[in-house]
A and B are shown apart, each in its own frame.
Chain A
Amino acid sequence: IAGITQAPTSQILAAGRRMTLRCTQDMRHNAMYWYRQDLGLGLRLIHYSNTAGTTGKGEVPDGYSVSRANTDDFPLTLASAVPSQTSVYFCASSFLAGVSNEQFFGPGTRLTVL
């Protein structure tokens, strides 16, 4: 693995179903993030984790949950999907402190909720 991987690449899901989007990084970054990207709205932060074992809410956390059991993995779960959660989801990671706050993004997961 080099960088950040996300799975699946795309998914069509029936409303009410549970779905987990997976994210793995191999850069030993402390912090990880989940964003959703919608046309005309840019990227909006859903949840973040500054270190393994801790998580925090971003701008649009409702309907989503995350966990950070270790440094490398940061799954995003939709407990009961709704059509408004149709979006492209990006996972990102960065070092928490230092000169650069650069966030490295994964290739995204395109999710359609019908």
Chain B
Amino acid sequence: QQQVKQSPQSLIVQKGGISIINCAYENTAFDYFPWYQQFPGKGPALLIAIRPDVSEKKEGRFTISFNKSAKQFSLHIMDSQPGDSATYFCAASTPINDMRFGAGTRLTVKP
């Protein structure tokens, strides 16, 4: 049973559109919520991360929204570009670095 549930499995967005990926968790011990981006044949790389003491974090075109009471968080990619096409994983980690990943979302941005 996955501790972090991610949706959708796949997403197709037009260039310039907004991509939204959602995650939900159950374990209230999680205190660090990163998003990783993975290109084919490569390892995942950190995109953006948030701690539960803030409700939103923005870095460039990427924003994490965090709802502690609902135990949900989401990634928004504004002005999506073909170069953003990749698989995105949400994750949640406890203070002892026990990291649990969502199943992943394959994003395709059409030109």
Binding site for B on A (CB under 8 A): 4, 31, 33, 35, 40-45, 48, 50, 58-59, 90, 92, 94, 96, 100-108
Task: Verify B46–A103 contact, CB threshold 8 A.
Answer: yes
Classify chain B: how many residues form its interface, as a range: 20 to 34
Bound-state CA distance A36–B43 (Å) is 11
B103 (CB) vs chain A CBs: closest residue:
A42
Q: How far is the CB of A60 from chain B (nearest CB, A)?
A: 11
Shortest distance from the beta carbon of B69 to any chain A beta carbon, whole Å: 23
Q: Residues of B at under 8 Å CB distance from A?
A: 2, 6, 9, 32, 34, 41-46, 49, 89, 93, 96-104
Identify the closest chain B residue to A101 (Cβ): B32
Taking CB atoms, residues of chain B closer than 8 Å to A41 are 2, 103
Q: A102-B34, A102-B46, A105-B43 are in contact. Are A43 and B97 (CB under 8 A)?
A: no
Give the 3 A-B residue pairs with the shortest CB-CB distance, closest first. A105-B43, A42-B101, A43-B101
Q: Give the residues in chain B near A44, CB-CB below 8 Å.
A: 101
Task: Check if A103 sits within 8 Å of B99, measured CB to CB.
Answer: yes
A45 touches B42 (CB 8 A): no
Q: Are A105 and B97 in contact, with the CB atoms below 8 A? A: no
Task: Say yes or no: A42 contacts B49, CB within 8 Å.
Answer: no
Chain B residues with CB below 8 A from A45, complex form: 98-100
* Given A42-B6, A102-B34: A94 and B97 interface contact (C-beta under 8 Å): yes
* 17 CB < 8 A contacts A-B: A40-B103, A40-B104, A41-B103, A43-B89, A43-B101, A48-B97, A48-B98, A50-B96, A50-B97, A90-B43, A96-B97, A101-B34, A101-B49, A101-B99, A102-B49, A103-B46, A103-B99
